[in-house]
């Protein structure tokens, strides 16, 4: 799978509306056949930072995503609300789902 984590630093005046601003993009991405997950998180330490954790089935699904119209529109809707260029980790890893954490097994 293609596993991606992106940090977005959002301007103070857009922090409370970030999830609303990205809703159309989020919904469209989650509807893609190759999308495994697409989840937003808000930093507990930095109120201006949102984290996106997403995964796609394979490189083709990732390519389909970045070449979609909703991807282009989503980036343009985000751009005016950001204080800096987002930071990203993008990796091709084995599997298509989360693994269980063996160090914290719950019976």
**Gyration radius of the chain over CA positions:** 15
> What is the architecture of the domain spanning 2-96?
2-Layer Sandwich (3.30)
Q: pTM, whole model, 2 decimals?
A: 0.93
The neighbour count for residue 16, using CB atoms within 10 Å, is 10
- For 14-43, the DSSP string reads GGGGHHHHTHHHHHHHHTSTTEEEEEEEE-
Q: In a 10 Å sphere around its CB, with 0-12 CB exposed, 13-18 middle and 19+ buried, how is residue 55 labelled?
A: buried
Residue 107 has pLDDT above 90, yes or no: no
* Spans of all domains in the chain: 2-96
Q: In the sheet that 35-42 helps form, which strands lie side by side, from edge to edge?
A: 35-42, 49-56, 2-9, 87-92
Tens-digit pLDDT profile for residues 66-102: 999 999 999 999 999 999 999 999 999 999 999 999 9
Q: SS in 3 state form for 51-75? A: EEEEEECCHHHHHHHHCCHHHHHHH
Tens-digit pLDDT profile for residues 44-74: 999 999 999 999 999 999 999 999 999 999 9
């Amino acid at each position: 799978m293609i596993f991606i984590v992106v940090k977005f630093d959002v301007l103070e005046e857009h922090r409370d509306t970030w999830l609303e601003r990205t809703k159309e993009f989020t919904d469209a991405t989650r509807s893609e056949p190759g999308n495994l997950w697409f989840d937003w998180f808000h930093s507990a330490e930095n109120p201006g930072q949102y984290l996106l954790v997403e995964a796609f089935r394979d490189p083709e699904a990732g390519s389909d995503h970045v070449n979609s119209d909703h991807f282009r529109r989503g980036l343009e809707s985000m751009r005016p609300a950001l204080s800096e260029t987002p930071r990203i980790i993008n990796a091709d890893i084995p599997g298509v789902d989360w693994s269980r954490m063996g160090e914290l097994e719950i019976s």
